[in-house]
Chain A
Amino acid sequence: MRILIVEDEIRLADNIAAALRQGAGVAVDCAHDGKEGASLTEFGHYDLLLLDLMLPGLDGLSIVRRVRARGDATPILVLTARDERRHVVELLNAGADDYLTKPFDLGELIARVKALIRRGKGAAHPLLKVGRLTLNAVEQTVRCGGQLIDLSPTEYRILEYLMFRPRAIVSKRELLEHLYDYTWEHHSNVIEAHISNLRKRLRAMREEATVETLRGRGYRLEAPDSEL
């Protein structure tokens, strides 16, 4: 998953980014003014937008309106210093999904970010099931028939992304865009290596579900007897 943080207080943005990378296992990009933030949202790489309300250039509320006017349904979490009712109502009416009042708790921020991403993918429950595979988004673990699968953070993120959209074809480009932020020097063979490792781990658990490669089109999570 990949998140965009738009916050003009650079050190606060860095802290949030670090906490989200560590606590939610997501890739994070930061923008420090409204206009830069708004233009980054246009690429549609993001699974969640985290906006400060008061920004130089373009304020958070305007970004929310712009994103929603495009028909972009990416979940939006707004950080605000004001919790006046009028303000909050205006924010939510403009299309924001949730808000947090500064100063907030990092733990709460991480939990809300995860919940919003899940809901954005159409899954309200933190447990995702495909075949015998069970993914716990809170604990960031995957079990196969009750047994924990040992996954690296990147492998977990790839599997999580695929499990949100079982049987759908996910292009390598999409995976790259949603799993890595701009700080990464990404090469497409990085993804291939991780996919191949993931397959090995699933096979080791005698898991029937597997990640198929569709040449030139991408990857697909295939579970033979799942009741999807």
Chain B
Amino acid sequence: MRTHSLTGRLIVGVLLAELLCAVCFSVVATEHEMHGRQHAFDIMLRGRADSLLGAVQDADDAEANVTVDRNELDLPAEDIYVVLSPAGRLLGESNGAGTRALDELASAHRDGYFNVELDGVHYRALRTQGVRIIDRLENGGTRRPVTLIYGAPTSHLRHEAVEAARFYVISSVLLLAGTGILLAWLLRRWLAPLRELAQAASSVSVASWEFEPTENALRTRELEPIVYSIRQLLKGLREAFERQRRFTGDAAHELKTSLALLKSSLQLLTMKQRNADQYEDGLTGLTVDVQRMEELTERMLALARVEEEPSRLAEAIDLGKLVRLLARRLQPAADVKQVKIRLAGDDTYLVNMHATDAEILASNLVTNAVQYSPPEAEVIVSLGAPDGMIEMRVTDRGVGIPEAALPHIFERFYRTDASRSRTSGGTGLGLSICKAIVERSQGSIEVQSAAGRGTEVIVTLPKAVG
């Protein structure tokens, strides 16, 4: 993946904007400068033309040629001019190159300024009218108009324009370089909180969850949402990690304790010579231990399956039929405790659930209820369909759950009886599995209980369509 630098982009962006401004400014300023110089040039041109006109004002004969003494007039040698009579006859001209061509242009232009290129030289020219007074000494003289075309080469004007443009370009480049360096330096300083935040975030690890951004980073307004997100993320991760770690620890403890029990039972049995009856008792005990371990392993795997496996495409199953089947199957075991399983709700209750999940859920709840019921009591499993949901209530009249224990009953390996009487066979995983199953089917599970008066577990599941 290609990476890019924010600093780089910012600098490039600012420099581009500045470059654009510089170009525009240079063009406008050069234009303006040129315009001013052109204006001054035109005025100068008119001045020279006027002084030339002054020089040719007096003549003895209308047809006489104009002669100008250049030393007297002080006109630049490279300037060119022609003086024409109204009839178009050439009265006088400069003797520089291009003068002849200027003569031909006389009729092509009106009075005023124009640009022209003659023999590869650019000229700015002025065509103007003047008056010659013929024979001023006799009877006041006759006035005869003349036309003057006066041109001056514009090469130095161009040269000046190039100079001006160059000045602007050089100063722009210097400004750009200065801005670039200053920006790079400032951005390094101003982006320090970002780097510090990254450092603070990278120092977080499984061993140390401490995330402490520097004062600098905390005071940066733009970083606030990032700091908040990182904090939330770390909190969630930490909780998930702690949960996982606790589960692994608990699971290891349960399994190793089971193993320790098996090993100690075997070693105790072989510690000294025993008779056949003692061996038989020992083996019976070992069988019970192995069964307990089997149950524990099975439940842990069930929990792992329900929690880790992505929800498969669940089928619509009839919870009513399943519960009726289960009640018949569990009744013999309940008979041992003289407990009667009673069903309420004789209908079809379709839920979207995997059959195995539904069976584990219902059988866990009913078995729990039977286990905590006193003799001669009833366990009631009632099904209903309120508000478009399917509701299953499993009620017993047993010992109930102490209030202090209620918030913890869905925790893994949690047992309500403090002394963990293993004889009752609980693994502390049953309700955790139920909760995971119900939540996987987008349902909810709730327990209401009062110590000494019994427990009611309410499972609410979305109704399956079709």
Whether both chains belong to one complex is answered with yes
Could you tell me which A residues sit within 8 Å of B by CB distance?
8-12, 15-16, 18-19, 22-23, 32-33, 35-36, 52-54, 56-57, 79, 81-82, 101-107
Interface residue from A10, A23, A35, A81 paired with B421 (Cβ < 8 Å): A10
B89 interface hit (Cβ, 8 Å): no
Cross-chain contact A19 with B259 (CB below 8 angstroms): no
Chain A proximity of B335: nearest CB distance (Å): 27
B253 interface hit (Cβ, 8 Å): yes
Chain B proximity of A35: nearest CB distance (Å): 8
Within 8 A of A (CB), among B236-266: 249-250, 252-253, 255-265
Cross-chain contact A104 with B260 (CB below 8 angstroms): yes
Chain B proximity of A51: nearest CB distance (Å): 13
Known: A8-B420, A9-B420, A11-B422. A103 touches B271 (CB 8 A): no
Cross-chain contact A54 with B253 (CB below 8 angstroms): yes
Cross-chain contact A82 with B261 (CB below 8 angstroms): no
Cross-chain contact B257 with A82 (CB below 8 angstroms): no
Chain A proximity of B466: nearest CB distance (Å): 47
Cross-chain contact B267 with A105 (CB below 8 angstroms): yes
Cα A103 to Cα B256 with chains together (Å):
6
A-B contact pairs, 8 of them (CB 8 A): A11-B285, A32-B420, A33-B419, A54-B250, A56-B419, A81-B255, A102-B259, A106-B267
Cross-chain contact B261 with A81 (CB below 8 angstroms): no
Chain B proximity of A22: nearest CB distance (Å): 6
Interface residue from A10, A32, A81, A106 paired with B256 (Cβ < 8 Å): A81
Cα A107 to Cα B268 with chains together (Å):
10
Cα A104 to Cα B257 with chains together (Å):
10
Q: Which residues of the other chain, A, contact B262 by a CB distance below 8 angstroms?
A: 103
Cross-chain contact B272 with A22 (CB below 8 angstroms): yes
Q: Which residues of the other chain, B, contact A81 by a CB distance below 8 angstroms?
A: 249, 252-253, 255-257
Q: Which residues of the other chain, A, contact B415 by a CB distance below 8 angstroms?
A: 56
Cα A33 to Cα B253 with chains together (Å):
15
Cross-chain contact B264 with A19 (CB below 8 angstroms): yes
Interface residue from B249, B259, B260, B285 paired with A82 (Cβ < 8 Å): B249
Cα A172 to Cα B97 with chains together (Å):
147
Cα A23 to Cα B270 with chains together (Å):
12
Q: Which residues of the other chain, B, contact A35 by a CB distance below 8 angstroms?
A: 418
B71 interface hit (Cβ, 8 Å): no
Cα A107 to Cα B264 with chains together (Å):
10
Chain B proximity of A227: nearest CB distance (Å): 39
Chain B proximity of A90: nearest CB distance (Å): 13
Cross-chain contact B260 with A33 (CB below 8 angstroms): no
Q: Which residues of the other chain, A, contact B263 by a CB distance below 8 angstroms?
A: 103-106
The CB with the most chain B CB atoms within 10 A, among A32, A36, A82, A106, is that of A106
Instruction: Tell me the interface secondary structure of chain B in the complex.
Output: helix
Cross-chain contact A106 with B268 (CB below 8 angstroms): yes
Q: Which residues of the other chain, B, contact A57 by a CB distance below 8 angstroms?
A: 418
Cross-chain contact A15 with B252 (CB below 8 angstroms): no
Cross-chain contact B249 with A19 (CB below 8 angstroms): no
Which A residue's beta carbon lies closest to that of B415?
A56
The CB with the most chain B CB atoms within 10 A, among A9, A19, A82, is that of A9
Known: A19-B267, A19-B271. A82 touches B418 (CB 8 A): no
Chain A proximity of B261: nearest CB distance (Å): 4
Cross-chain contact B256 with A102 (CB below 8 angstroms): yes
Chain A proximity of B305: nearest CB distance (Å): 23
Chain B proximity of A153: nearest CB distance (Å): 14
Chain B proximity of A89: nearest CB distance (Å): 14
Chain A proximity of B361: nearest CB distance (Å): 26
Produce 1/0 per residue, B258-295, CB < 8 A to A.
11111111011001100000000000010001000000
Q: Which residues of the other chain, A, contact B202 by a CB distance below 8 angstroms?
A: none
Cα A36 to Cα B420 with chains together (Å):
13
Cα A8 to Cα B415 with chains together (Å):
11
Taking A82-B249, A105-B263 as given, write out 7 further A-B residue pairs in contact, using a Cβ cutoff of 8 Å, ordered by the A residue number: A11-B285, A12-B260, A23-B271, A52-B257, A102-B260, A103-B256, A106-B267
Cross-chain contact B249 with A107 (CB below 8 angstroms): no
Cross-chain contact B268 with A15 (CB below 8 angstroms): yes
Q: Which residues of the other chain, B, contact A54 by a CB distance below 8 angstroms?
A: 249-250, 253
Cross-chain contact B421 with A103 (CB below 8 angstroms): no
Cα A101 to Cα B253 with chains together (Å):
10
Cα A8 to Cα B257 with chains together (Å):
10
Cα A82 to Cα B250 with chains together (Å):
10
Cα A10 to Cα B252 with chains together (Å):
18
B423 interface hit (Cβ, 8 Å): yes
Which A residue's beta carbon lies closest to that of B249?
A82
Cross-chain contact B265 with A9 (CB below 8 angstroms): no
Chain A proximity of B272: nearest CB distance (Å): 7
Q: Which residues of the other chain, B, contact A23 by a CB distance below 8 angstroms?
A: 271
Q: Which residues of the other chain, A, contact B264 by a CB distance below 8 angstroms?
A: 12, 15-16, 19, 103-104, 106
Known: A81-B256, A103-B256. A32 touches B419 (CB 8 A): yes
Q: Which residues of the other chain, B, contact A107 by a CB distance below 8 angstroms?
A: 267
Which A residue's beta carbon lies closest to that of B258?
A9
Cross-chain contact A82 with B252 (CB below 8 angstroms): yes
Chain A proximity of B52: nearest CB distance (Å): 108
Cα A54 to Cα B260 with chains together (Å):
14
